[in-house]
A and B are shown apart, each in its own frame.
Chain A
């Protein structure tokens, strides 16, 4: 009797062990710290709706930061689809840890459609071996000066074009009480550290991060003499109280809050945020005068303007994925109208409701989520935003498309960045003469072998 019981228990155990991998293989495990539901409850709803669309059970893991993915992968966790930024993708590609997707993309009727993703965009993701290892999550956009257009009008100012125009506008925002409260409590410009002074440095022809010449020699233009007048211009803003003194320690949230709280005339941030700023204030008060507008950076003496295009955020399939076919199904779905609707507006019945006539209406939760569940904007030209574009976004996007270029990081940038930052801040805040700071920055970068000239 006892032996029989042991035998049965053993058989059950073996059956469970065999069935477990089969069951988990059918499930699609997705990790993204950006896309998906905004809170644990919505993450579950999100996974459920994706499951219904693609016909595969989905486990959506939404960690709070990027550290999780690295730790989990190293610990042996297996995921079918992972959301990455490009530096992390570079590491995984170098290790041979990602599944090549070139043929899949070429043969996919959705992803190879030029109206869904423009063919030239794929070149951003192609590696020297000719392979593409990832698929875009969204259209990335770029960062640009975002100005209070209503303040410009109120103070009778034109949209600034040159560095002098920018200086005059920013100074007016500080001195002419644009919020009309009679208190000296506004700043002209704020940033979150050096993120992002590119529009202003661009007027001097200086590009952020690395530049590599045709011989493969690397330099960091912020450490060149060409950057000196750019830092001097920013130092002038700092000295005169035009630049928010907290810009060094600001998070992007601090900067955004200052702008939304009528304490700031200009900040440099994503083009998409032109619309999000306007929408946030419109949601609070439909009669608000608040009007954010994305503008091109100041034009340099030689007519140059440089803005920053964001690194692509992408999806990739690890080579140890248990359900790569399911992952590919999701990647196609994510670029269809239904997928884009989920990535933007969110979950049906939670973020929005669909009326019998097919029109959509945002719920209170949906309004709070600002039509952004990882895909505020997309490449697919066939998909129209049912609520229309957020106010100001289209114009901002056109400016980004005209002037923004990708930055080159290289694997050495994380080591170079603290050196660049330290001396740039010393220059702007006057702790060191600007020219000395730039030269010392260059010397340290050269000594550390982080630049070649």
Chain B
């Protein structure tokens, strides 16, 4: 029976082979190599001495790791909250705009920052937030207040980073919400109109509940992405704020690339992966994403 099935679908199995080979070579093999490296004191020219789980122990005993984990949780908490709520409001507001050209123009403007890399965005905002020549501080000075060094002050850097992340990502998440909004059945709204529902009631009683499954998806995507934030921190950190905003991924980078501790760096990256898997698993279970209409 099995042989017959194999023969029957042989051509299809053959067609799947390149994909399987791709994943074996570019995903599975590096992961296996990574696991091996994480149990070694690796040498740069290859090979290394087996050290068991010592690298994992060293990471877990390293204060910088826990500091990076705390920073990651604080930053990602803020980024997820704003990354879910603001685009939600923006999408609903856009949906209420009847004049299509204005709606499209607004969408384009909001989405544009997402198209730029963090290198560009970081460069722009370093100028905009400069305490001497920056636009934001020029406005602050107009009100007679002292300029704020947003990117060098340990008190300001986290909120600044969260806001910049939200500014850059709002357009993308708003598109996801807007797509879900556009797919809602107009008859529901017509029925509500017949029943005498106001615009506000339609938003609060229909739109918001109907969008909740999408909110779940966006929340989960944002949560997974937030654990892997690197670019924005790497670009915007400086000597004064490094310890306040260093996150898990910059910790992994610094260990490997700055301190040349490849074994520990690889062990740390696997721990980050574990944290990510745990988070996704927990969120899927808690939010029952698989059972939603949009999943």
Chain A residues with a Cβ under 8 A of chain B: 67, 70, 73-74, 76, 88, 91-92, 95-97, 193-194, 244-246, 248-249, 318-320, 411, 414-415, 417-419, 421-422, 425-426, 429, 431, 448
Contact = CB atoms under 8 A, between A and B. Distances in A.
Given A67-B257, A70-B257, A245 B44 contact: no
Contacts, number: 86
11 contacts: A70-B44, A193-B240, A244-B132, A246-B130, A248-B149, A411-B259, A414-B254, A414-B259, A419-B243, A422-B243, A431-B153
Interface in B82-139: 126, 130-132
Interface string B150-185: 011111000000000000000000000000000000
Given A91-B260, A425-B152, A245 B147 contact: yes
Contacts of B259: 411, 414-415
Contact of A194 (B43, B131, B152, B239): B239
Contacts of B246: 418
B15 interface: no
A248 B45 contact: no
A74 B40 CA distance: 13
B70 interface: no
B46 interface: yes
Contact of A248 (B43, B147, B152, B155): B152
Contacts of B152: 248-249, 425, 429
Contacts of A76: 46
A280 to B, nearest CB: 22
Most chain A beta carbons < 10 A, residue from B147, B240, B244, B262: B240
Contacts of A95: 43-45
A73 B44 contact: yes
A371 to B, nearest CB: 30
Contacts of B126: 249
B63 interface: yes
B207 interface: no
Contacts of B260: 70, 88, 91
B258 A414 contact: yes
Question: Mostly helix, strand, loop or mixed at chain B's interface?
Answer: loop
Question: Mostly helix, strand, loop or mixed at chain A's interface?
Answer: helix
A415 B45 contact: no
B238 interface: yes
B64 interface: yes
Contacts of B132: 244-246
B239 A318 contact: no
Contacts of B153: 429, 431
B243 A73 contact: no
A308 B221 CA distance: 49
A266 B254 CA distance: 32
Contacts of A422: 154, 239-244
A425 B152 CA distance: 9
A60 to B, nearest CB: 21
Given A248-B149, A249-B126, A414-B258, A97 B239 contact: no
B216 interface: no
B42 interface: yes
Most chain A beta carbons < 10 A, residue from B257, B260, B262: B260
B63 A448 contact: yes
A257 to B, nearest CB: 12
A249 B64 contact: no
A449 B126 CA distance: 35
Contacts of B151: 249
Contacts of B45: 73-74, 95, 97, 318-320
B238 A418 contact: no
Contact of B242 (A92, A418, A448): A418
A415 B130 contact: no
Contact of B44 (A67, A92, A415): A92
Given A88-B260, A97-B43, A429-B149, A248 B154 contact: no
B122 to A, nearest CB: 11
A249 B262 CA distance: 29
B44 A421 contact: no
Interface in B24-49: 42-46
A54 to B, nearest CB: 25
A132 B202 CA distance: 78
B147 A74 contact: no
Given A74-B44, A245-B131, A418 B258 contact: no
Nearest to B44: A73
A448 B151 CA distance: 26
Given A249-B130, A429-B240, 16 more contacts: A74-B262, A91-B44, A95-B44, A96-B43, A97-B43, A245-B132, A246-B131, A248-B152, A249-B149, A249-B151, A249-B238, A411-B259, A418-B242, A421-B242, A422-B242, A429-B149
Nearest to B258: A414
B239 A425 contact: yes
